[in-house]
Amino acid sequence: MAHINTNIRIKEKDLSSKFILYLTTISFVVTYIRTYPELIIQRNCKNTHQLKDHNAELLERILSNRREDEKMFTFLRPLSKGGSKATKLLIASNNAKFSTFGALQKGHANSNPHYHNIITESHGKVGLITLNRPKALNALSSDLFHEVNDALVKYDDDSNIGAIVITGSERAFAAGADIKEMSDQTFAQVYKSDFLGHWGKINDIKKPTIAAVNGFALGGGCELAMCCDIIYAGEKALFGQPEIKLGVIPGAGGTQRLVRAIGKSKAMEIVLSGRNFSAQEAERWGLVSKILPSDKVLDEAIKLGQDIANLSQPAIQAAKESINAAFELSLKEGCHFERRLFQSLFSLNDQKEGMSAFVEKREPKWTND
């Protein structure tokens, strides 16, 4: 009788494993059927803009499928402890699939579906703007820059955001302004429209901006990076102001910011010759804050943004304002301006909290007021 019971238990275990395997297989087939139309849509989309507009709907559908699948696997997971190796592997694989979908929810991408040249995401308290014209190496067209300005203003007004990161692709941060857009314009046209004037909007942003640079940062790309408060560069990043080779000069701050960052002699050499310079040279001259492996640049820039965003925001903005004033004021005027800002911060609760926390040897709890 014991022998018979043992055989029955073995058969029941085999049937249980087969049943679990059968349900798991059905789940994968159903998932494939659900997502197959989306693959066809992506294949037929003519450009990345169509794909971006479709992403929100696709993500919601995938996550809806995930919720339905998880209901079935809720009772399967406990059985994996006594199931076959194949069953355990399949359930582990399904868990990994859920984890992947969960990761999609962490970065809130395409917060504005009307953008066609950039992608915006929020990473905690950091706003991320990714230039997205890959075929043109992120050439800075007027449309792209208007979108960048719009995203910057939105992040600057968002109380949940404390720092902003601007990046491109691994191949190019931005390879320059859009030459095709400007090549046929006349003096009257560019003068009356104040061409490139809207590039200065970034200077009005109160929150810290960080450029995460990989690949080419030439012409307007170099100028955009220099407009940011901090530059992190990949080890293969390449900077330059080659406008002289087009019969013009930098027009968005290149001659002004470069000389302030690296000095007159080096700035003259770079602008007058139009030669490019490496990330290593940029760091040595003081243009770049830090050089990192190409695959670490963006992560480190976001991490720095998080560190900044976790501090007292009024103090951060005052510090940025004071540093930027150093480019406009004499040393005496600058020190006076700094001292007045320092004194004004004593009106804030954050000043009381920060100093009390230091004396009491604890972490401060910032309220940003």
177 is catalytic: yes
DSSP 286-318: TS-SEEE-GGGHHHHHHHHHHHHHTS-HHHHHH
220 is catalytic: yes
HSE-CB at 272 with a 13 A cutoff on CA atoms is 7
DSSP H or E run through 209: strand 209-213
Collapse the DSSP code of 151 into the 3-class scheme (helix H, G, I; strand E, B; otherwise coil) and give the result: helix
Q: Determine which one of 176, 217, 243, 309 is catalytic.
A: 243
274 is catalytic: no
Q: Are 105 and 124 in contact (CB under 8 A)?
A: no
Plot region of 4 (φ>0 → left; ψ -120 to 50 → alpha; else → beta): alpha
Q: Determine which one of 127, 220, 234, 305 is catalytic.
A: 220
Hey, what are 281's tokens?
């040279």
Rounded Cα distance, 66 and 72, in Å? 10
Rounded Cα distance, 162 and 125, in Å? 6
Collapse the DSSP code of 326 into the 3-class scheme (helix H, G, I; strand E, B; otherwise coil) and give the result: coil
Q: Determine which one of 223, 225, 233, 315 is catalytic.
A: 223
Beta bridge partners of 129: 120, 166
Rounded Cα distance, 213 and 191, in Å? 31
82 is catalytic: no
What percent of the chain is helix, strand and coil (3-state, nearest 5)?
65, 10, 25
Residues noted as catalytic: 177, 220, 223, 243
